[in-house]
Amino acid sequence: MELTVKQSPLITDQAPFADLPAALVDEVLSQTSTVAQGLLTSFQEVRKKRKTLRAELLDSGLLIAESSLDYPPLPTTCAVDGSYAIEQLLTTDLAAAAAVAMEGLTPPSEKRYWELPRHRSFVVAEPHSADTATVLRAVMLGLA
């Protein structure tokens, strides 16, 4: 027997089960109470063993106070951006792409690795083609 799932335009937020057979919906919903009971039992067991589990975690060193952690060094941040443009001239396309990478938002006490922003550019004259934009986007990503 083959099962076919059909997406219907009738399915909305108000009636998500509109196209499903009623017996299937009832069967799925009847199974949720068993799952819910199992989850509830599991949560109650953890609640009963809470003190014991906490003590075991403390003894093993897996649970520590946040105050015992060192402060991590503040990292610098960087960003990359790019752009491309195509100017269609009479007989050819003037295509350009550029990418800029810069380090910024650095706290005054942190060392910068790049003194100035870095950039790369690409400019070319190409015959008219519908694929120029796609190729130019790829070049722009390669420049980044």
- Is 48 part of any domain? yes
Q: Is residue 88 part of a domain?
A: yes
d(Cα 6, Cα 25) in Å, to the nearest integer? Answer: 15
Share of the chain above pLDDT 90, in %: 43
Q: What is the pLDDT of residues 15-71, one digit of tens each?
A: 665 666 778 878 888 888 888 999 999 999 999 999 999 999 999 989 888 888 888
Q: Residues 57, 81: one domain?
A: no
d(Cα 122, Cα 99) in Å, to the nearest integer? 9
Is 104 found in the same domain as 60? no
pLDDT in tens, 5-18: 444 444 455 666 56
Query: Which pLDDT value is given to residue 26?
Result: 81
Decide which of 10, 45, 66 is a domain's last residue. Answer: 66
Domain count for the chain, please give it: 2
In a domain, 17, yes or no: no
**Whether 53 and 86 share a structural domain:** no
Determine the distance from the C-alpha atom of residue 38 to the mean position of all C-alpha atoms in its chain, rounded to a whole number.
32
72 is written with which tokens? 């991590």
Does 8 fall in a domain? no
Residue written as tokens 């195509």?
86
At which of 14, 39, 66 does a domain end? 66
Enclosing domain of residue 31: 22-66
For residue 91, tell me if it sits in a domain.
Answer: yes
Residue 10, domain member (yes or no): no
42 found inside a domain: yes
Q: Is 0.75 topped by the overall pTM?
A: no
Give domain status of residue 3, yes or no.
no
136 touches 86 (CB < 8 A): yes
Task: Give the pLDDT confidence score for residue 17 in this predicted structure.
Answer: 59
pLDDT of residue 19: 66
pLDDT tens per residue, range 88-131: 988 899 999 999 988 876 666 667 777 788 899 999 999 999 99
Q: Are 93 and 130 in contact (CB under 8 A)?
A: no
Same domain, yes or no, for 87 and 135?
A: yes
